[in-house]
Structure 1
Amino acid sequence: MALAPASAIVRAGVGGGHLVSNLLAFVRLLRRAGLPVGAGEAIAAAEALTIVDLADRAQVHGALRAVMVHRREHFELFDQAFTLFWRSPEAGRQAAALELFEAGKEKERPPPTARRVAEALMADRPRPPPQEAEPPPPLREATLTVSDRERLQRMDFEAMGAAEIAEAKREIRRLVLPLDERRTRRFRADPSGPGLDLRATIRASLREGGEILALARRRRITRPPPLVALCDISGSMARYAQILLHFLHAVTNERDRVHTFLFGTRLTNVTRQLRHRDAEVAFELVAQAVPDWSGGTRIGESLARFNRLWARRVLGQGAVVLLITDGLDREGAKGLAEATDRLRRSCRRLIWLNPLLRYAGFQPKSQGIRAMLPHVDEFRPVHNLESLRALVESLSAPQPRAGHGRRAA
């Protein structure tokens, strides 16, 4: 959708001069960085600037964010873009170049929002004029080089730029989750079934005057078990939760009996919101339903509330539970071991997905991790596409019976 022309914004209430062109340039920057900003947000931003003091940077920032950002997870990205854009253009370009240079180092990486804004700012730089044709470089043997697709599979979600995140979301939508099917207590008629159906055989014989002319057979019904996801959306997990919600949305729309709960300082059931086919609409509904995105973490309290209110409703028939959290609870380990143990006893399989396992030297040093770890069946990383594919393969593989060596790390 094209942005509103400058004349429309002038009519909305902002005077001429450089402010109009700068505002439109800022809107284009947000769109390149991945924010859903259109003509409506541009006009609303122009109207908002007419009622604030333009000399007060805090008022301008608050007014623009109020009318241009509609989801909590986009606040950080907007703040980075506002900080880099509303100053000297040369300083913004230098910061963008420095951001891309620092991203390749081994030290602590900047937040992904800063990298996405830097990439959007770099797009504004004029391209150098074409130079004279140079002789082609000599051919090199590249048999063992890693393709871009393989690099994307191993790239950490936290280190992805805007284009890489969009490609990762497309890859996630293509993932298929054929859960291992379980036998139920119900039967269905099947002429080649392994068991005899005496009741159906007798009913059929009554239509023939009591003569049994054929034996009815039946087969036990098999279906995938329920899948329950408990996803941490606290400040330390928010960046991963944004990507994993796309995975949970795809799974929810692909099969039935999938339940999703988000927790930070409280527990929220978002199963109904994620059932909407349109991903953007579904995430907008989730943002409206979840009041504690990127806040604190109360894992023990949230698991205890789930055990008390939801376990009997959704954990029947051999349910599989995905517990997605880094285990960093601000309440320490208070009640965490008991809540995790009860959750483990209520389901058939409890899988803990922890992005901290991406570090080779990971050690369970925090109180929360040490309290939860003895009560889970599997402890897996979840930080890139490769780890998600490994999870899908694990869920699809046949599992041993309860009590026969299920626990693995």
Structure 2
Amino acid sequence: MAEHTPIDLPQNPRLARNIVHFARALRRAGVPVGTGRVVDAIRAVQAAGFTDRMDFYWTLHACFVARPEHRVIFAQIFRLFWRDPQFLEHMMSMMLPAVRGVAEERTAQAAEKRAAQALLGDQLPALPETDDQPPAEQIEIDATLTLSAEEKLKTLDFEQMSVDEIATAKRMIARLSLPVKPLQSRCLTPATTGARLDRRAVLRTAMRRGGDLHSLPKAKPRLRWPNLVVLCDISGSMSQYSRMVLHFLHAVANEKGRDWARVHAFTFGTRLTNITRHLDTRDVDAALAAAGAQAQDWEGGTRIADCLHAFNHDWSRRVMGQGAVVLLITDGLDRATDHDLGHEMQRLHLSARRLIWLNPLLRWQGFAPKAAGIRQMLPHVDSFRAGHSIQSLEDLAAVISSRDDSGDKARLMALL
């Protein structure tokens, strides 16, 4: 018979009240938990029992978790609330890094900061004072030249943000833009000055006036704007980054007087999904909710080669005209598939005027192209840049029109 692991319940032994408090913590962390789910959870625990920790975990999981992106938050809050003392100590020290040294042992994992904030709240416990400890001296600090909260938030990793920080980051992203320089087409447009003659206008004028010309019409190349095509990885390892990038993409698509002729967006995990039409919705929350409902592979596996093959075969000729710029947002960690990833990347590169790869793994200083998928993809991109923070998106906006920018590609190619 399987050995049952007993559960150490919180100090208050009333289980129903503890489940209600646990549900409130989930709600504060961003998981939509209503009264009906709380009642169902209490009844489910009463029916299933709570002598085994894993049975209790999955019983509450079935009642409270309805979307894949909420699994990580649920797991972290479950560990914190239902008594993992070491985890609780780490969360306390992470929120008070100057007090204890536990926070330096490792960085916060996905949703840990949100889980700690949901349970501990904004009021952090004070340090115990001893009788021998002298009163703290009040020191006034001139913070005139220090960084503002938004400036500090620019360099923070999307995965490490709390609920409030994510809301602030979304508002900052909504103010960003992605300017691009226009391209000169072969078509001509009339001009008052210039060294180029408008031959057709010259012939038309000569025919109307019997060959008598009082002036020579001039012309200049007509300017046109390229398309922006975004391929965004929504697998489990890229979920939080993809959501922030899609917020940025929505802001670009709905910017007044935008420079791009058309913005096309595709998500991929285990399959390719076109979410372009959802970007036309002015409300960003409604737009991303509709896109998430259409893309059924959120936080699933990763089949980059198969999805790129589907794009090259079905969509490339439709959206890649007029010198399109392609943004590829993925970590490059591909599973074994039926198609050659290097070949599909080469086809994508040849179809685009410029192919830019945003990879959140570049946030690590010691990043090296060791994964097979990254080694196959890297030679076929024009620029390889980080995509893990607001600052990285601002850096992208500054160089997206620069043909000479290659990001970290040259350094990483030397390591291949």
Asked if Structure 1 and Structure 2 have the same fold, meaning a TM-score greater than 0.5 normalized by the shorter chain, the answer is: yes
More displaced stretch, 135-144 vs 331-340: 135-144
The answer to whether structure 1 residue 29 and structure 2 residue 25 are counterparts is yes
Which of 115, 118, 126 aligns to 1:117? It is 115
CA distance in 2, matches of 1:315, 1:408: 26
Taking a change above 3 Å as real, the CA distance of residues 100 and 400 of structure 1, as seen in their structure-2 partners, is closer
State the Cα distance separating 1:335 from its structure 2 match.
0.7
| One-letter amino acid of the counterpart of residue 70, structure 2 | H
CA distance in 2, matches of 1:104, 1:171: 32
RMSD: 3.6
Which of 280, 287, 300 aligns to 2:285? It is 280
CA distance in 2, matches of 1:91, 1:21: 24
User: 1:54–1:60: 8 Å Cα contact kept in structure 2?
Assistant: no
**What does residue 152 of structure 2 align with?**
151
CA distance in 2, matches of 1:142, 1:64: 44
**What does residue 76 of structure 1 align with?**
72
State the Cα distance separating 1:359 from its structure 2 match.
1.2
CA distance in 2, matches of 1:249, 1:75: 26
Which of 54, 68, 80 aligns to 2:46? It is 54
**What does residue 45 of structure 1 align with?**
37
CA distance in 1, matches of 2:349, 2:280: 26
| One-letter amino acid of the counterpart of residue 178, structure 1 | P
State the Cα distance separating 1:110 from its structure 2 match.
3.2
TM-score normalised by length of structure 2: 0.77
| One-letter amino acid of the counterpart of residue 32, structure 1 | R
User: 2:231–2:326: 8 Å Cα contact kept in structure 1?
Assistant: yes
Matches within 5 A, 1:68-107: 71-81=67-77, 84-85=80-81, 87=82, 96-97=91-92, 100=95, 105-107=103-105
CA distance in 2, matches of 1:26, 1:170: 29
The answer to whether structure 1 residue 289 and structure 2 residue 281 are counterparts is no
Cα offsets for 1:80-118 (capped at 9, x unmatched)? 345545x47999976752553589734443333221121
**What does residue 272 of structure 2 align with?**
267
**What does residue 65 of structure 1 align with?**
65
- How many residues end up aligned between the 2 structures? 374
TM-score normalised by length of structure 1: 0.78
Taking a change above 3 Å as real, the CA distance of residues 77 and 135 of structure 1, as seen in their structure-2 partners, is closer
| One-letter amino acid of the counterpart of residue 344, structure 1 | H
Residue 155 of structure 1 aligns to a residue whose secondary structure is: coil
**What does residue 170 of structure 1 align with?**
171
Residue 335 of structure 2 aligns to a residue whose secondary structure is: coil
CA distance in 2, matches of 1:44, 1:204: 79
Taking a change above 3 Å as real, the CA distance of residues 380 and 90 of structure 1, as seen in their structure-2 partners, is closer
CA distance in 2, matches of 1:222, 1:351: 23
**What does residue 367 of structure 1 align with?**
372
| One-letter amino acid of the counterpart of residue 80, structure 1 | Q
**What does residue 387 of structure 2 align with?**
382
| One-letter amino acid of the counterpart of residue 105, structure 1 | A
State the Cα distance separating 1:341 from its structure 2 match.
1.2
Matches within 5 A, 1:202-281: 202-203=203-204, 212-254=213-255, 255=258, 256-281=261-286
More displaced stretch, 207-216 vs 337-346: 207-216
Taking a change above 3 Å as real, the CA distance of residues 60 and 273 of structure 1, as seen in their structure-2 partners, is same
User: 1:154–1:386: 8 Å Cα contact kept in structure 2?
Assistant: yes
Taking a change above 3 Å as real, the CA distance of residues 207 and 240 of structure 1, as seen in their structure-2 partners, is same
**What does residue 308 of structure 1 align with?**
313
User: 1:333–1:368: 8 Å Cα contact kept in structure 2?
Assistant: no
Structure 2: where are the runs of 5+ without partners? Answer: 1-13, 49-55, 127-134, 412-416
Residue 369 of structure 1 aligns to a residue whose secondary structure is: helix
The answer to whether structure 1 residue 351 and structure 2 residue 343 are counterparts is no
Residue 188 of structure 2 aligns to a residue whose secondary structure is: strand
Taking a change above 3 Å as real, the CA distance of residues 50 and 115 of structure 1, as seen in their structure-2 partners, is closer
Cα offsets for 1:319-352 (capped at 9, x unmatched)? 1111111111121796111111111111111111
**What does residue 51 of structure 2 align with?**
none
CA distance in 2, matches of 1:144, 1:214: 61
Taking a change above 3 Å as real, the CA distance of residues 396 and 175 of structure 1, as seen in their structure-2 partners, is farther
Percent identity, please. 44
Residue 54 of structure 1 aligns to a residue whose secondary structure is: helix
User: 2:198–2:217: 8 Å Cα contact kept in structure 1?
Assistant: yes
CA distance in 1, matches of 2:299, 2:287: 19
